[in-house]
Amino acid sequence: MPIKIISKLSEDIEKDNDKILKFTESNVLLKISPDIQCLNFLNSKPNGTIYVTTEEIIYWLNNIQKGISIDYNTISMHAISSSSEQNKRCIYMQLDNNKCTIFNENKDILPIDIKKSENETNTEEEIENYMEDDDDYIIEFNFIFENEIKLTLAYEEITRCTELHPDPDDSMDESEMFDINYFNQMETEFESPIHEPPENDDDDNDNVKRQKI
């Protein structure tokens, strides 16, 4: 599942199974943009814990015993970036809109409704148009760390685990590979030959000059 709201940590995390759990860090702040209503319970809340496992990333708030799990194929890109939060560094994630479905614990799909700020007066039609526009509607997660060394370690583990889950949409089947190889071969066979200019023969030029004389 791309994103799932959870109220219990897995047994592998609780038992610190190092074959599955690759990184843990507490005192991590998560900022979500835009502010999605069903995820508002953890947006910009302090003292969160991030767990990087081989299967997913989990962000957990121990004080309310609730969090989310993020599937690696949901992440379209991630990087180390700067945050406006006291100029601290963060792990920036951009999620794939086409795969960013949010489930509750009962596996029901939750609506991705944007929570308006007090200064916003957008109509329901404007919000709906905003949600349908993929160019404007981008879900971004910023995991802000207190410790920059731990941030770097977390980023490295996320990168390694992401490579364990290649996007199936990016892979090509055998027929597509055949088409590409076929056209590459055809292009090579019908490549225009390179014609080199004839070499100048000084002796022939001398003979021509003698005949003219």
Output the pLDDT for position 99.
84
Residues 46-65: tens digit of each pLDDT: 889 999 999 999 999 999 99
pLDDT over 90 (residue 205) = no
The answer to whether the beta carbons of residues 165 and 74 sit under 8 Å apart is no
Output the pLDDT for position 100.
85
Q: What is the mean pLDDT of the chain?
A: 81
Residues 111-165: tens digit of each pLDDT: 989 887 655 555 555 555 544 544 467 899 999 999 999 999 999 999 999 999 9
Cα 183 to Cα 22, 100, 114, 175, 177, distances in angstroms = 44, 36, 47, 12, 10
The answer to whether the beta carbons of residues 28 and 145 sit under 8 Å apart is yes
| Sign of the dihedral through C-alpha 120, 122, 123, 128 | negative
Q: What are phi and psi of 194, to 5 degrees?
A: -90, 120
Q: Domains in the chain and their CATH numbers?
A: 3-170 (2.30.29.30)
The model carries a pTM of: 0.73
Output the pLDDT for position 175.
47
The answer to whether the beta carbons of residues 114 and 102 sit under 8 Å apart is no
